[in-house]
Structures are given as C-alpha cells and as structure tokens.
Amino acid sequence: MVRSSHAHADLIGIDTENALASEGVLSVLSGADWKKDKLNPMPAWGNPKDLELTNRSGEKLFYTPLFPIVWDRVRRVGEIVAVVIAKTLSQAQEAAEKVAADYHPLPAVSNCLEALKGNAPLIWKEIPGNVSVDDEKGSEEACKNCALCRC
C-alpha cells in the first residue's frame, strides 16, 4: 500500500510507471482504477437503515463515503492512494517506494475540538462544521450509575 503523508490534500496525480517496471510487479492500482470500474464505496457503518441514527437537529445524516483507494482528496494521514501487487512482499515494498503521488496540501487540524470550530477547514463540503452524526442513545442516568465505569 502507498499511503498519504498528508492529513488533508487534493490528490493531483499518481505516477506508477517506475513501480510497474519493477521486478516481480504484477499490477499497481490507484483510485482512478476503482473509479473507472464504477465501484461503490464500502459501507462504513453497515446498512444505515438498520442503525436508526438521527441528528438531534433533525437534519439528515451524511454518511461519509469510504473508498479503499483515494482518487481525489486525502482526508487523513495514511489514507491509501495506491496498491502494489507483486510476486513477493519485498518486491511490492520496493515498487511502492517508486510510486510518485503529487499533492496539493490543504489546511488541516489534528485535534477534534479544533475541527469543530467555525474557522476549521471542512473535511467534507457536505458537512458544515465537520459533524456528520450528532445522535444520542441510551440513558444518561443509567450510564452515570454504571458499575463498570463509574462515570
């Protein structure tokens, strides 16, 4: 796997030519391949209809799409931007080092409380304020009296 070193950036392009020419490499896949094949995002939370989550404000939830390989924007350090398939692990690792990803870094924060502030960079344009789910379940009183955690 080739992973992003950026917390937040537009992925401008990926050059896989040198990796593909490496010994033992069978294929190098990028998000462009996923998109070209018209594959859907992976379910992040199971079937949303079964979760019964609702925002306390009454607004509709935005389930952030989870793609195994990014093709447009990275939203966390370590997000996968390419996958190298080779005959051996060491061949794949060597080839992965030859994949060149071009990024346009975007503003980022690494603290959850900072991400909720009004001037924080938006991770998803569809989620003003960076809160995709604001749901509350269970009994606050029962939690306070929980023998396991003594909250």
What are the tens digits of pLDDT across the range 104-122? 999 999 888 999 998 999 9
Asked whether the whole model's pTM tops 0.85, one would answer no
Quote the distance between the C-alpha of residue 108 and its chain's center. 14
| Inside any domain, residue 41 | yes
Residue-level pLDDT at 76: 93
- State the CATH number of the domain containing residue 82: 3.90.1170.50
Confidence of residue 129 (pLDDT cuts 50, 70, 90): confident
| Inside any domain, residue 55 | yes
- Whose structure tokens read 């996958």? 83
User: Among 6-10, 82-86, 110-114, 131-135, which is the least confidently predicted range?
Assistant: 131-135
Other C-beta atoms lying within 10 Å of the C-beta of residue 132: 16
Number of domains observed in the structure of the chain: 1
| Inside any domain, residue 23 | yes
First to last CA, the chain: 40
Q: Per the structure block, which two tokens stand in for 32?
A: 């462009």
DSSP percent split of the chain into helix, strand, coil, nearest 5: 25, 20, 55
Residue-level pLDDT at 85: 98
